[in-house]
Structure 1
Amino acid sequence: MRSMAIFVLCVLAAAMLSSVFCNNSSGPDDCCFKHYPIKLSQRFIQSYYMTDSRCPIMGVILVTKKRHHICANPNLPWVERIMKTLDESTL
């Protein structure tokens, strides 16, 4: 009986440790779960990048000059203008 209890405790401890040490590195790094609702000025934005296709909603992450990351809807006209301006300035 005692050896069975020790065995069950060891199995439970192994299960708990495996969940702690498990690292799911195959998922996306940055995702948007909500888009920023207010229009931003181009002068505050330094760069942008698109979210991963595996994210729940499509988004673009706008990086401000103060290094803040803001999720925005890439289909909005003001976001499209910012992206176009930044693309043209890097050419």
Structure 2
Amino acid sequence: MAPGVAPLLALSLLVLWTSSAPALGGANDAEDCCLSVTQRPIPRNIVKAFRYLLIKDGCRVPAVVFTTLRGHQLCAPPDQPWVERIIWRLKKSSAKSKRQSN
């Protein structure tokens, strides 16, 4: 394992564990909300999908939830440039694969 990957993996698992616990309070006690987000960039090459969980959805912490190739879900802040870059790359690769299948 490359140096620096183990701490990132440990942090990611911590975020995943806290994000899978039910949120306390909130508009609808949404169980699908993130309780915290990681400020450390997530490697682009391990992400396969994303979705937004926002305050308007009943969550206290706005987040982008990235799904990794191994199926883990990692919560990230939606306003960070590195998050926006990963989303842009995912949208671009999705559009490219749709063009190739037509």
Pairwise TM-score range, normalised by the shorter structure: 0.5 to 0.7
Shift of 1:79: 0.4
Paired with 1:57 and 1:77, the residues of 2 have a C-alpha distance of 18
- How high is the TM-score relative to the length of structure 2? 0.59
Match of 1:78?
Answer: 82
Of 22, 45, 48, which residue of structure 1 is paired with 2:47? 45
Query: Percent of pairs identical after alignment?
Result: 27
Match of 1:17?
Answer: none
Matches within 5 A, 1:1-91: 27-52=29-54, 53-91=57-95
- How high is the TM-score relative to the length of structure 1? 0.66
* 5+ long unaligned stretches in structure 2: 1-27, 96-102
Between structure 1 and structure 2, the one with the greater Rg is 1
> Residue 50 of structure 2 aligns to a residue in which SS?
strand
* 5+ long unaligned stretches in structure 1: 1-25
Count of residue pairs the alignment pairs up: 66
Paired with 1:76 and 1:67, the residues of 2 have a C-alpha distance of 23
Paired with 2:78 and 2:85, the residues of 1 have a C-alpha distance of 10
CA RMSD of aligned residues (A): 1.4
